[in-house]
């Protein structure tokens, strides 16, 4: 028997438009499902049901995700709803305004069920904060969901919402997508507005989408994408909807691949190698030209990235009397950032732009590039976290995620696809990236891969 949560997000939206279900019925169904994976920091059942009940009758121009439940990452401002940024220093903070991402979701007629779990200020690649239980993958609740969009990924993978928004400054959508067996899409820099804060001054971070299918992730990107009047820069508009790109068969593509880690010396787990090799063979079988290349970004770029990351952490506004509430890793990163002078930061930003330019030039002949998403399958909760030695914690994170941040530096769109599973059924993702502003090509390719090797019917225990 098909349950409502068995339907994809697009199928749920279609059912609402056909009158086969209602936004309130969908919201109530998902709210009845227990959160056993640490997906939420705050749930808002009364608010969600009231919102869902107000959505009928649906307007004639209702979008494809109208009435569909979702959730909003706890880094995003939500007027009247607690927003902790994953930090005990903001445990009781309730903003009086919503940001552009939240407004876009509301404007599409979607129904938020609450705020998804995130680590403090979205910095680590694991979701273990002081304001909520750890976010875990539903495929093995002893193992991490990844981060920083770990709660969003856990919620989608466990069937607590059909699709969810996340954000990604160094892999924070693609990492949890790999850990949880989902599609995780980081779009091109400037594709999604940072209104009204515009606090991400390095260009590393962007919003994006997590879904069980490529089409669901593309449909949510259609909701989130677009410029706002105050945006300092933006990506060019697509030729049509991102969802429609999923229905276009890609031409024969030239795809580069490499597996050498970019930012750390680490032995890649055999299961991650197998996933990469299998994806390469699949792409070749689909008629694409797959070519080995050298790593397009030098290891010298890593210290530059780390300067920018530390300064971003230092910019997180916390009152002096609240700093003792911050986690050891956050305090260590913020201290490193405060030690960087203004001229040093300016030089680092310039150097990062040049590294990006060189990488983009090297990859320009290729339509896409293939790497593993992570160096190992999802690790046990606590395996990366080291409160006694934050520097060791940071190095362990780099070894776990040695490819993802490269595409934040370049601003390229990238997607993690759940193509592989270990013998114990743990999900293992592979990552495809494309030239800037070429999400349509990337989604077309990803949809072709999904059609050839479907994964949407795989469900974790307890589904």
CATH number at residue 128: 3.90.1300.10
- Return the pLDDT at 383: 98
1 pLDDT more than 90: no
Q: Judge whether 458 lies within some domain.
A: no
316 pLDDT more than 90: no
**148 tagged catalytic:** yes
Q: pLDDT averaged over the chain? A: 97
Q: Judge whether 247 lies within some domain.
A: yes
Q: Judge whether 366 lies within some domain.
A: yes
If you average pLDDT over residues 393-398, what whole number do you get?
Answer: 98
Specify the number of domains making up the chain.
Answer: 1
pLDDT in tens, 251-284: 999 999 999 999 999 999 999 999 999 999 999 9
pLDDT band at 78 (very low <50, low <70, confident <90, very high): very high
Query: Domain limits at 313?
Result: 4-452
Q: Judge whether 13 lies within some domain.
A: yes
- Return the pLDDT at 317: 87
**186 tagged catalytic:** no
If you average pLDDT over residues 8-33, what whole number do you get?
Answer: 98
Which of 153-162, 173-182, 209-218, 308-317 has the lowest average pLDDT? 308-317
Catalytic residue selected from 148, 149, 178, 336: 148
pLDDT band at 348 (very low <50, low <70, confident <90, very high): very high
What pTM, to 2 d.p., does this model score? 0.98
HEC secondary structure over the chain: CCCHHHCCHHHHHHHHHHCCCCHHHHHHHHHCCCCCCCCEEEECHHHHHHHHHCCCCCCCCCCCCCCCEEEEECCCCCCCCCCCCCCHHHCCCCCCCCCHHHHHHHHCCCEEEEEECCCHHHCCCCCCCCCCCCCECCCCCCEECCCCCHHHHHHHHCCCCCEEEEEECCCCCHHHHHHHCCEEEECCCCCECCCCCCCCCCCCCEEEEEECCHHHHHHHHHHHCECCCCCCCCCCCCCCCHHHHCCCCCCCCEEEECCCCCCCCCCCCHHHHHHHHHHHHHHHHCCCEEEECCCCCCCCHHHHHHHHHHHHHHCCCCCHHHHHHCCHHHHHHHHHHHCCCHHHHHHHHHHHHHHHHHHHHHHCCCCEEEEECCCCCCCECCCCCCCCCHHHHHHHHHHHCCCCCHHHHHCCCEEEEEEEECCCCCEEEEEEEECCCCHHHHHHHHHHHHHHCCCCCCCCCCC
155 pLDDT more than 90: yes
**73 tagged catalytic:** yes
Catalytic residue selected from 112, 149, 172, 444: 172
């Amino acid at each position: 028997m098909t349950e409502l949560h068995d339907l994809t997000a697009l199928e749920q939206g279609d059912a609402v438009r056909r009158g086969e279900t209602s936004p309130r019925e969908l919201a109530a169904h998902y709210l009845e499902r227990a959160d056993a994976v640490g997906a939420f920091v705050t749930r808002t059942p009364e608010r969600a049901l009231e919102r869902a009940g107000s959505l009928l009758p649906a307007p004639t121009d209702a979008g494809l995700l109208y009435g569909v439940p979702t959730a909003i990452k706890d880094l995003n401002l939500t007027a009247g709803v607690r927003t902790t940024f994953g930090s005990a220093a903001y445990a009781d903070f309730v903003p009086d305004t919503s940001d552009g991402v939240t407004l876009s979701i509301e404007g599409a007629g979607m129904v938020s069920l609450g705020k998804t779990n995130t680590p403090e200020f979205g910095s680590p690649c694991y979701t273990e904060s002081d304001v909520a239980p750890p976010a875990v993958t539903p495929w093995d609740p002893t193992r991490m969901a990844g981060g920083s969009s770990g709660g969003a990924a856990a919620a989608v993978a466990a069937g607590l919402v059909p699709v969810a928004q996340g954000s990604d400054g160094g892999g924070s959508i693609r990492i949890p997508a790999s850990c949880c067996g989902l599609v995780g899409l980081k779009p091109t820099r400037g594709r999604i507005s940072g209104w009204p804060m515009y606090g991400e001054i390095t260009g590393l971070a962007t919003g994006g989408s997590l879904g069980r299918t490529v089409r669901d992730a593309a449909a949510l990107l259609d909701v989130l994408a677009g410029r706002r009047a105050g945006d300092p820069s933006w990506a060019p508009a697509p030729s049509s909807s991102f969802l429609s790109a999923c229905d276009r068969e890609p031409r024969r593509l030239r795809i580069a691949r490499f597996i050498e880690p970019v930012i750390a010396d680490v032995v890649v787990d055999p299961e991650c190698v197998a996933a990469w090799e299998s994806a390469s063979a699949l792409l070749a079988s689909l008629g694409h030209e797959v070519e080995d290349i050298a790593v397009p970004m030098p290891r010298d770029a890593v210290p530059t990235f780390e300067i920018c990351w530390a300064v971003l952490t230092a910019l997180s506004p916390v009152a002096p009397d609240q700093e003792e509430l911050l986690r050891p890793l956050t305090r260590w990163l913020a201290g490193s950032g405060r030690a960087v002078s203004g001229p040093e930061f300016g030089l680092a930003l310039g150097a990062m732009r040049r590294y990006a330019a060189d990488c983009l030039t090297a990859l320009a002949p290729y339509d896409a590039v293939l790497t593993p998403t992570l160096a190992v399958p999802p690790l046990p909760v606590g395996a990366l976290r080291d409160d006694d030695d934050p520097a060791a914690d940071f190095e362990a994170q780099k070894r776990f995620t040695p490819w993802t941040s490269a595409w934040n530096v370049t601003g390229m769109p990238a997607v993690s696809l759940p193509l592989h599973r270990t013998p114990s059924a743990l999900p293992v993702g592979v990552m495809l990236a494309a030239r800037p502003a070429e999400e349509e090509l990337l989604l077309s390719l990803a949809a072709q891969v999904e059609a050839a090797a479907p994964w949407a019917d795989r469900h974790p225990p307890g589904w």
